[in-house]
Amino acid sequence: MCGIVGYIGTKKASPILINGLLRLEYRGYDSAGIATIEKDGLSIMKDKGRVKNLYNLPGIDDLEGTIGIAHTRWATHGKPSKENSHPHVDNSESFSVVHNGIIENYNELRKFLTDNGYTFYSQTDTEIVPNLIHYYYNKDENDDEQKILRAVKNTCKDLKGSFALEIISKYDKDHMIVVRKDSPLVIGKGDGENYISSDIPAILSFTREFYLLNDLEFALLSRDDIKFYDTDLNPIDKKVQTIEWNAASAEKEGYEDYMLKEIHEQPTAIRETIGAKLDEGTKCTFDELDFTKDYLKGLHKIYLVACGTAMHAGLAGKCMMERLCRIPTEVDIASEFRYRDPIIDDKTLCIFISQSGETADTIAALKLSKQKGAKTLAISNVIGSSITREADYSIYTHAGPEIAVASTKAYTSQVVLLAMLAIYFAETLEESEVEVLNLKKEILELPKKLEETLKCEERIKAFGHRIYQEKDVFFLGRGIDETVARESALKLKEISYIHADSYPAGELKHGPIALIENGITVISIMTDPKLVEKTVSNIQEVITRGAKTLVITNQDVDAKLFDTVIRIPETDSFVSPILSVVPLQLLSYYISKEKGLDVDKPRNLAKSVTVE
């Protein structure tokens, strides 16, 4: 949610800032704005609506400043409006701030500032920040180069909640300050210039060298230097990290939408995720992990904790962990995890899955697990993200940047990584040798089988044309196929706004069948040979009630029973979700296109959910 961009250098800042915001549009937002330091002070340009609206603002082309901050806002406090959009300034227009996150005690701080003579012009929690900086700046009797930095530090001490902040001031036209707590922020290092963003892809075309801030670390940026400080403003050293993503990989490369591009990137993403970790003839290796046989044997439980699509990947992972490793495994929704007082101790391993690595609920659940004595393992697509810095161990999907809000290649890469993690655990435990050998072989063949699966695109597009005006769609599956039904229903809801529900096929007669009527669409996934016969029986129950049916399968079923059958390559049922989900990703995409919707930026959704 929300996006941050910043620039300090020798070029005009405004075009760089707006270009960065355009690259962050996938995060979801309702207003946009920039602030630059001009000869006569701060200039604020902002408006409700899309980033492109900034090009029409009077005076935008006259900006000459080489230092600036920018923001796309997703409303939390206050309706979408020009007044509530960022950047915000203090009453004297001496400090300008953009902010991601939520200030939980803003009412208390607003009252404090009001009592001290400050006036507020927006409904936001953010507006307190520049005014609080101004308050502390004026209270500080020392007049040295760290005066603004101290004011920012004192302000941050008062803030409760999450924040990523960029601050510029008319009092210092050669520096910018950034700080973060529980919200993403990266610094890109250039030659005589530096960049700031909430997401790496926004500035990847300018640099591949990045600094990653930990919570309550401050950075003082000039054109040629970056100084880092801890929470007490003691200097600290930071190592620059090189990001290997290619800037072109964040562009559409001829595809009409990022989502379609990312669906087709899945064979490559899976190859990258497998990397050098897996080979048929040797044990699966995770150099980042040092779990021993004794430790794994002593585990009472594994938790897989995540939100949304990542949670659905966890459901597939549960099947593999329990079957191959014989360790009880529970999948939990991160937003509920903390509030049910989960049973966690040093005999518990907690695994947290997040594409962005910045999901607020998942990070909060991770912190709780550490407090209770569990070992923690993060699975993310973003190196150096908050979740990976907080966890005891981290492993990466290496799927490359995923721009579309609706996750596709991140999901399949997470399932593959969980499969390899289960293999690693099983080999360490010396369990399930035959199943492990077969699963390794099947994982290595997945990229080619994904390429084969993608050939169903035209038939799926045609089915989407048939049903795009429907109001309700039902997804059914049994065993691991039910996890795909959940993910596919979510995908359809996310980007087509069609009401979609998923159910275990065996539960159909326990209530949901009351919703089946003539002409309704029911989609079923059938990849587990042990469950196909029963699933076919379940689908026949809806056919007799007039339902249209789409079946995704790699089993020997009678195609005459169903309206449309999409056949996918045979594979081990453990990794069948990686193939069976692809036609249903494409179905959601083409239904959304038929409806004329914005596929990459569905309403009300954001790529990185950084508030709880």
Which one of 493, 548, 601, 607 is the catalytic residue?
607
- Name which of 160, 386, 308 is nearest 606 in CA terms: 308
Distance CA 487, CA 315 (A): 10
**Residue 607 is among the residues annotated as catalytic for this protein:** yes
At 41-79, the pLDDT tens digits run 999 999 998 899 999 999 999 999 999 999 998 777 778
Range with the lowest mean pLDDT among 127-131, 203-207, 472-476, 563-567? 203-207
What value does the mean pLDDT of the chain take? 91
> What percent of the residues of the chain are helix, what percent strand, and what percent coil, each to the nearest 5?
40, 25, 35
CATH class of 252-431: alpha beta
**Domain assignments of the chain as residue spans, ordered by start:** 3-249, 252-431, 455-594
In this chain, the answer to whether the domains covering 3-249 and 455-594 adopt an identical fold is no
pLDDT of residue 247: 62
Q: Judge whether residue 245 has pLDDT over 80.
A: no
Contacts of 512 (CB under 8 A, 6+ apart): 474, 501, 503
DSSP 129-161: HHHHHHHHHHH----STTHHHHHHHHHHHH--E
**Residue 456 is among the residues annotated as catalytic for this protein:** no
CATH number of 3-249: 3.60.20.10
At 460-490, the pLDDT tens digits run 999 999 999 999 999 999 999 999 999 999 9
Distance CA 399, CA 416 (A): 11
CA angle 329, 333, 338 (to 5 degrees): 95
Range with the lowest mean pLDDT among 294-298, 394-398, 460-464, 592-596? 394-398
Distance CA 237, CA 227 (A): 8
- Within its chain, how far is the Cα of 66 from the centroid? 31
pLDDT band with cut points at 50, 70 and 90 for residue 608: low
Q: Judge whether residue 611 has pLDDT over 50.
A: no
CATH superfamily of 455-594: Glucose-6-phosphate isomerase like protein; domain 1 (3.40.50.10490)
Distance CA 244, CA 195 (A): 17
DSSP 350-379: EEEEESSS--HHHHHHHHHHHHTT-EEEEE
Which H, E and C letters describe 205-245, residue by residue? CCCCEEEECCCCCEEEECCCCEEEECCCCCEECCCCEECCC
**SS3 call for 45:** strand
Please state the rounded mean pLDDT for residues 556-578: 92
Which one of 2, 284, 307, 350 is the catalytic residue?
2
Q: Judge whether residue 1 has pLDDT over 70.
A: no
At 329-381, the pLDDT tens digits run 999 999 999 888 899 999 999 999 998 888 889 999 999 999 999 999 999 98
pTM across the whole model: 0.71
